[in-house]
Amino acid sequence: MDLFGKQKKRKLLLCTAALLVVFASYAIYSQLYPPVRTIGNVKSLVNISDFDTPLPEGAIPEIINPKFVSANVTYPEDKDLVVGIVYNGLIKAYPIKILNWHEVINDNFSGKPVAVTYCVLCRTPIAYESKVSGKIATFKVTGILYNSNDVLVDSVTRSYWSQLTGEAIMGDIVGKNLTRIPVETTTWSLWKSKYPDTLVMSSDTGFDRDYGTDPYGGYEESEKVWYRVKNEDKRLFVKDIIYGVTFAGEAKAYLKSNVTSIGVVNDQVGKQKLVVIYDKELDVIKIFDRNLKGRELNFEIAGDKIVDKETNSVWNYDGVAIEGSMKGEQLKRIDATYGFWYVWAAFYPKTGLYLVY
């Protein structure tokens, strides 16, 4: 590396270190002296006093119209986590190391506007169709937290939205919900192996950020939660990774490491019958409706295959029967929330928890 390259690298490291100090200092300061927010007389589903305001709006800049490159790139690295989406005929991956610095990416899938959101404090990657009141909207981070989770704002109505639930919690359209798009959180190596034609978001974002570093590195191992939550649940370590689902007001969480060791779980949340499957190809958990055409199926691992007990058909990780009398049938995918246990328990204090010891 020449002298210019070394100086540039040193400058980036110094800038990153300085930025981390600023973020940490601002977080401490804002807890002691919260920024004044003029909310006004608006409808709200939450108590404003439960908000934390560590940063001003715009401090974490959203990305609009990101650039993409083919899978034959040196960034991200194979071990890096990405958020993968298969939607409307396109396959894309978004490096977590970029989402760490921006938290909202406003994108488009062949004419379908999509907001890829990520709360770095909660490790919750969630994608939404970005239409509000029938109009295309862009989203950004407000700098406000509720239950230590990002509150987003849309460009059409200026309503505030919970990043985790996709519900408008403040503004003229409170109670409205955004439509979710399934995402996978896996490594770049596994994602491009399954989807070699995938596109991946480029680090050429127009912002001067060191996307090789994690500004919140080590947070996932800490027992501390930096901001307030309305409910704490000690059944799991606060930063354990779970997949959570809700049906008709009932919630349940599945510990990733637990399902990984079992392979397949037949379960029920409320009246909804589920099968929870560990996908070895992507190292993710997938959840499906195990009622198919009025028939309840029960699944098990037979050797290295997933089979249903009723017909002994073989199913793949995408919920498609690939052998047997049900060949070609497709289970309905149920979108689940991936993230830290503490934030799920904060939003759903009565959540069930599937555990096998």
pLDDT in tens, the chain (357 residues): 554 444 544 544 444 444 444 444 444 434 433 343 444 556 888 888 899 998 888 899 999 999 999 998 888 999 999 999 999 999 999 999 999 999 999 999 999 999 999 999 999 999 999 999 999 999 999 999 999 999 999 999 999 999 999 999 999 999 999 999 999 999 999 999 999 999 999 999 999 998 988 888 888 888 888 899 999 999 999 999 999 999 988 999 999 999 999 999 999 999 999 999 999 999 999 999 999 999 999 999 999 999 999 999 999 999 999 999 999 999 999 999 999 999 999 999 999 999 886
- Whats the size of the chain, residue-wise? 357
pLDDT for residue 342: 96
pLDDT of 132 reads: 95
Contact 275, 309 (CB under 8 A): no
Q: Which residues are 94's β-sheet partners? A: 83
Q: 296 by DSSP, 3-state: which?
A: strand
Give the other-Cβ count within 10 Å of 90's Cβ.
17
pLDDT (0 to 100) of residue 1: 52
> 3-state class of 149 per DSSP?
strand
Tell which residue, 154, 352, 354, has the closest CA to residue 261: 354
Bridge partners of 264? 277
C-beta contacts of 187-191 below 8 A and 24+ residues apart? 187/78, 187/79, 187/80, 187/81, 187/82, 187/283, 188/76, 188/77, 188/78, 188/79, 188/80, 188/81, 188/82, 188/93, 188/95, 189/78, 189/79, 190/281, 190/282, 190/283, 191/82, 191/84, 191/93, 191/282
pLDDT for the residue numbered 244: 97
Give the Cβ contact number of residue 13 at 10 Å. 13
Distance CA(109)–CA(129), nearest Å, equals 10
Q: What is the pLDDT of residue 24?
A: 45
**Whether the Cβ atoms of residue 355 and residue 262 lie closer than 8 Å to each other:** no
Q: What is the spatial distance between Cα 119 and Cα 137, in angstroms, rounded to a whole number?
A: 19
d(CA 25, CA 55): 11
Domains defined along the chain, listed by start: 7-219 (no CATH), 241-354 (2.102.10.10)
CB neighbour class for 304 (10 Å; exposed up to 12, middle 13-18, buried from 19): exposed
Please count the other Cβ atoms lying within 10 Å of the Cβ belonging to residue 87: 17
Rounded to whole angstroms, the Cα distance separating 125 from 254 reads 17
Distances (CA, A) of 19 to 9, 13, 26, 215: 15, 10, 10, 8
Residue written as token pair 């070895």? 280
- Integer Cα distance of 20 and 292 in angstroms: 50
| Of 233, 241, 270, the residue nearest 336 (C-alpha) | 241
